[in-house]
Structure 1
């Protein structure tokens, strides 16, 4: 040891750095902060470089680096920048996990979920983006299986696949709740059969097309609903005449009723509403009550 160099015992080093003696001794034992020498009594002695190394080790440890990585940095086998880049990616993944866990817990608390529901939510939420999308793709494949190439229904299938069904990195509780409901919905066999029924009906090339103007229906029937007009009343008949030609034969009206019933389903509409919530889009009002009112008015109107 050079004369004139200031040396410190482990106790002095601990007081100088604020680190526990046992921590410094452990780091010294594994070679992260080796002693500069020993006293005549055999005690470890450390120099000013040890103080600097301890400060660096403490900083790296507070940043979350393991001692094996710290040793690599101190031995110049890797750089702090390289290690930091790796840790940023790891921390990003951890942050996404924590945010998702927080959102799931908020949903569990809001819904008053049972243990089984909480486990299901946690399991579904932990699926990868690819796995979550696969759930939707499998549902679409089942619903549209066997549809003829070039059929209009295949365009709907493509749209259903293109709409993002994945949760954002920082999901709000309502987005987690929407994803859980969506996963339960597409797994429901009754819902699958209902969508399949609509797909098959939509693919019938000889099905007559309706002259129904949906924009007009939403405008006039929507206003009737707001005003509380009954579909079987005189006012209701007047509203109906604005969207369906008054002279439409009874058979055509019945065909129109069947067509509207086939393509009006609150759960199918809910499917698109849930996807909207997951994608952060503003909610859209339900159109199902409008068409249910129209069905009732058509049946009440008879053939006249």
Structure 2
């Protein structure tokens, strides 16, 4: 029994023009024609068109449908490909949901509209594009720096981004992506990182002076901040004397040299960079060291 194109369309639940398009696209053999020139489809053609409808409803494009019908690909191959596509779409939808939540919280004032713009741009970036943004920053900061130069080892860790945002990123992670993108776009920040990398070994406050215990310096500095000790006060000078009590003279020159070294290797933005990488990579958070070091810089320079 042969069916007209209208009968086929009614049976499949699609428009007549859809059946005509699939036929003209070669997804079924050319149907027979009635005496009046109307298309007539046999049961095999109807079954094949029914399969085409099912595959299209699953989201397959016409090239994939054609390859499947020609037996150049198995159903399992097509299913695996579309599972990957669906998983990617789900991840994107979850990310956009989190972004929309951030937009909702951001409001719509002129100052906050820049946040909305950044969120929209972020949702369109792939993991590779996000990595390229950070890689570009690292390349600018370390361009021409010999591999064995002091501080060159910072380059690889500063590229350490996760391959993807989590399936359901937290608001903190989304905010971290945005802040990191803004930070690495700042040429001044790249220049500061380069300055630290070129300055010499020990390019962090962790090794400020051969005669100073960095851990003790942090403990004393944090205590001074918590206690509201003002640089230059008698209490601050007592802490300076305690820190530098290693048998060497506490001369103004030594104080100034230590303060300058600390200032060279201390930048709140650099520390923030590592904090943001930690949020994105799921690293354990660490207590900021910069505030205590900045207190010491001020305390050491207070008597200049």
TM-score by length of 1: 0.72
Looking at structure 1, the residues matched to 64 and 135 of structure 2 have their Cα atoms a distance apart, in angstroms, of 42
Could you tell me whether the CA contact under 8 Å between 1:10 and 1:24 is conserved in 2?
yes
The residue that corresponds to 2:220 in the other structure is 220
1:85 aligns with 2:85: no
1:74 is displaced (CA, Å) by 3.5
Structure 1: which 5+ residue stretches go unaligned? 1-5
Q: 1:29/1:284 Cα in 2 relative to 1: closer, same or farther (>3 Å)? A: same
1:137 aligns with 2:139: no
Could you tell me whether the CA contact under 8 Å between 1:276 and 1:283 is conserved in 2?
yes
Q: 1:64/1:198 Cα in 2 relative to 1: closer, same or farther (>3 Å)? A: same
1:168 aligns with 2:165: yes
Q: What SS does the corresponding residue of 1:199 show, helix, strand or coil?
A: helix
Looking at structure 2, the residues matched to 146 and 72 of structure 1 have their Cα atoms a distance apart, in angstroms, of 50
Could you tell me whether the CA contact under 8 Å between 2:184 and 2:190 is conserved in 1?
yes
Q: What SS does the corresponding residue of 2:60 show, helix, strand or coil?
A: coil
Deviations 1:151-180 (A, max 9, x none): 32122234324x226542634443333233
Structure 2: which 5+ residue stretches go unaligned? 203-207
Looking at structure 2, the residues matched to 197 and 42 of structure 1 have their Cα atoms a distance apart, in angstroms, of 81
Q: 1:107/1:283 Cα in 2 relative to 1: closer, same or farther (>3 Å)? A: farther
Q: How many residues align?
A: 294
1:182 aligns with 2:180: yes
1:22 is displaced (CA, Å) by 6.2
Could you tell me whether the CA contact under 8 Å between 1:210 and 1:256 is conserved in 2?
no
The residue that corresponds to 2:211 in the other structure is 211
Looking at structure 1, the residues matched to 214 and 97 of structure 2 have their Cα atoms a distance apart, in angstroms, of 42
The residue that corresponds to 1:3 in the other structure is none
Looking at structure 1, the residues matched to 113 and 67 of structure 2 have their Cα atoms a distance apart, in angstroms, of 45
Alpha carbon RMSD of aligned pairs, Å?
Answer: 4.1
Bigger Rg, structure 1 or 2: 1
1:274 is displaced (CA, Å) by 1.8
Looking at structure 2, the residues matched to 296 and 278 of structure 1 have their Cα atoms a distance apart, in angstroms, of 33
Q: What SS does the corresponding residue of 1:248 show, helix, strand or coil?
A: coil
Q: 1:39/1:135 Cα in 2 relative to 1: closer, same or farther (>3 Å)? A: closer
Which range moves more in the overlay, 219-228 or 38-47?
38-47
